[in-house]
Amino acid sequence: DSGVTQTPKHLITATGQRVTLRCSPRSGDLSVYWYQQSLDQGLQFLIHYYNGEERAKGNILERFSAQQFPDLHSELNLSSLELGDSALYFCASSVEGADSRNTIYFGEGSWLTVV
Amino acid sequence: ILNVEQSPQSLHVQEGDSTNFTCSFPSSNFYALHWYRWETAKSPEALFVMTLNGDEKKKGRISATLNTKEGYSYLYIKGSQPEDSATYLCAFITQGGSEKLVFGKGTKLTVNP
């Protein structure tokens, strides 16, 4: 158990809908990262938050947004869903954000299926 | 665009065999390399964070080496066991790279009893 908690574990929704994925980082970790794992793709970086502030953005679609709350949990909002958004979405956390030489701990992921 | 290549894509070995696989990354502006072990339906588990050229790290039967000048890292498993079956991922970050880990697609290892 990495200590990173993601909910829901599985989600099936229709095209055009909006979903929210939730992540609780390890106790004491200030950084939260979101990654997308699609078929035949490596883990794709979406976005990084550190202590409530956005630190880095990757290949995140405009239909997607995220935030990190004062209690450090994070949510990834996916809207106007398309079939191609079906993927495993990982959240990860680490103690600090400025130094990626820290170990980064992953949750078990949220499986999203868009039908 | 940063590219991280892992080879082979998949590997089947017999229990007791030793094995190794490769992670190749751009050699310029190296900052850190992470190795992860990922079993299906579980979270990727951090194995090593490697930062210095010539680094060698070990965790039980698993070890890794790093060559930042030529841009590669090797992961070795000695005396493979069925429980070592997993996908092994490496992830690279450049200096000043805005903290984005760039992952390879992984090497899927299957250890047959």
DSSP secondary structure of A56-108: EE-S--TTEEEEE-TTS-EEEEE-S--GGG-EEEEEEEES-SS-TTS--EE--
Q: How far apart are CA A28 and CA A14, in angstroms?
A: 36
Confidence band (pLDDT; 50, 70, 90) for A98?
low
- Predicted confidence band of residue A99 (pLDDT cuts 50, 70, 90): low
Collect the ranges in chain B with pLDDT lower than 70. 1, 95-99
* Residue B63: how many other CB atoms lie within 10 Å: 17
Structural contact between residues A45 and A60, judged by C-beta atoms closer than 8 angstroms:
no
Encoded tokens for A90: 């990982």
**B89/A45 touch (CB, cutoff 8 Å), yes or no:** no
Helices (H) and strands (E) in chain A, counts: 0, 11
Angle at A29 between CA B60 and CA A78, to 5 degrees: 105
Q: Is residue A34 over pLDDT 80?
A: yes
Taking the C-alpha atoms of residue B90 and residue B98, their distance in angstroms, rounded to an integer, is 18
Q: Give me the mean pLDDT over the A26-42 stretch.
A: 89
**Confidence (pLDDT) at B3:** 85
Instruction: Please tell me the predicted confidence (pLDDT) of residue A12.
Output: 97
pLDDT in the model for residue B1? 60
Chain A residues interacting with chain B (CB cutoff of 8 angstroms): 2, 4, 33, 35, 40-45, 48, 55-56, 58, 90, 97-98, 100-109
Q: What is the pLDDT of residue B98?
A: 56
Tell me if B32 and A101 make a contact (CB, 8 A cut-off).
yes
C-alpha pair distances (Å), B26 with each of A78, B55, B98: 32, 17, 16
Q: Provide the pairing of β-strand A110-114 with A10-13.
A: parallel
pLDDT band at A58 (very low <50, low <70, confident <90, very high): confident
Q: Which positions in chain B touch A48 (Cβ < 8 Å)?
A: 99-100
A88 contact residues in B (CB cutoff 8 A): none
User: Cα A81 to the chain's mean position, in Å?
Assistant: 16
Burial of B67 (0-12, 13-18, 19+ CB in 10 A): middle
- B73-90 pLDDT per residue, tens: 999 999 999 999 999 999
- Backbone torsions φ then ψ of A93, nearest 5 degrees: -140, 155
- Whether A100 sits inside 8 A of B43 (CB atoms) is no
pLDDT for residue B97: 54
Mean of per-residue pLDDT scores for chain A: 92
pLDDT at A74 over 90: yes
Token pair of A101, please?
């030489």
Can you tell me the distance from the alpha carbon of B10 to that of B57, in angstroms, rounded to the nearest whole number?
A: 23
